[in-house]
Structure 1
Amino acid sequence: MQAAAHLRYARISPRKVQVVLDLIRNKPANVAAAILQHTRKAASEPLLKLLKSAMANAENNHGMDVANCYVSKCFVCPGPTLKRIRPRAQGRAFQILKRTSHITLVLEERENS
């Protein structure tokens, strides 16, 4: 059984999120939470909140034991890009791309063999 949590339209670039997601993939949920708490990246704060949401979904909606859960899948997809204009010299304008992300995090329960 698996429990998922989604974060849509996060105002952070997918490249920055991907670096932090690589740190927690296939780790136990409590270890992943500890990694996110001590990682000094901008993406770690919304990812920690998303992980806690997935853990709550697993416990309350699916009746899973959170102590046996691990991060089975986590990925980020680019969301819509906000386009802004920055004035430059001699009347020119440069485009600033403010990227957004759609983040998905899936927890699964380990098989006790």
Structure 2
Amino acid sequence: MEVQALTRYARMSPMKMREVARTIQGRKAPEALGLLSIIPRKSARLIAKTLKSAIANAENNNNVSADELIVHRALIEQGPVLKRFKAGARGTAKPRRKGMSHIRIVLSDGTNS
């Protein structure tokens, strides 16, 4: 059985978030939470929040213990991009692209049903 949680429009670029998401795939949920708590990055805090939500979904909706859950997939998808400009040299405008991410954490209890 799979349980998931989704955080949309997280204000961080997907490339930065994927570095942290790769470290938790395949780990047990409590171990992944412990690992995220010691990583000193903003993306780790955002992913940990989504992981806690996925664990709560599994416990409340499916009556599954958190100790049995494994992080099956941690997907970071591209969200919309804010397009801004900053003043450049000699009166020019320099574009800035501020990316957003959608975080999807899928937990599995190890069974295929």
TM-score by structure 2 length?
0.95
Q: CA deviation at 1:110?
A: 2.7
Supply the distance in 2 between the matched residues of 1:6 and 1:68 (Cα, whole angstroms): 20
2:79 corresponds in structure 1 to 79
Runs of 4+ in 1 over 6 A off after TM superposition: none
2:51 corresponds in structure 1 to 51
Q: CA deviation at 1:66?
A: 1.3
Supply the distance in 2 between the matched residues of 1:33 and 1:60 (Cα, whole angstroms): 18
Supply the distance in 2 between the matched residues of 1:77 and 1:32 (Cα, whole angstroms): 20
2:109 corresponds in structure 1 to 109
1:36 corresponds in structure 2 to 36
Supply the distance in 1 between the matched residues of 2:29 and 2:4 (Cα, whole angstroms): 13
Letter in 2 for 1:104: R
Supply the distance in 2 between the matched residues of 1:67 and 1:77 (Cα, whole angstroms): 27
> Match of 2:103, SS?
strand
1:25 corresponds in structure 2 to 25
1:90 corresponds in structure 2 to 90
Supply the distance in 2 between the matched residues of 1:45 and 1:78 (Cα, whole angstroms): 18
Deviation digits for residues 60-98 of structure 1 (CA, Å, limit 9, x no counterpart): 011112111010011111100000110112110000100
> Match of 2:26, SS?
coil
Structure with more helix by fraction: 2
Deviation digits for residues 8-36 of structure 1 (CA, Å, limit 9, x no counterpart): 00000101110000110000000000000
Supply the distance in 2 between the matched residues of 1:30 and 1:110 (Cα, whole angstroms): 15
Unmatched runs of 5 consecutive residues or more in structure 1: none
TM-score by structure 1 length?
0.95
Deviation digits for residues 46-70 of structure 1 (CA, Å, limit 9, x no counterpart): 1111111000000001111211101
Aligned-pair identity in percent equals 36
Letter in 2 for 1:49: K
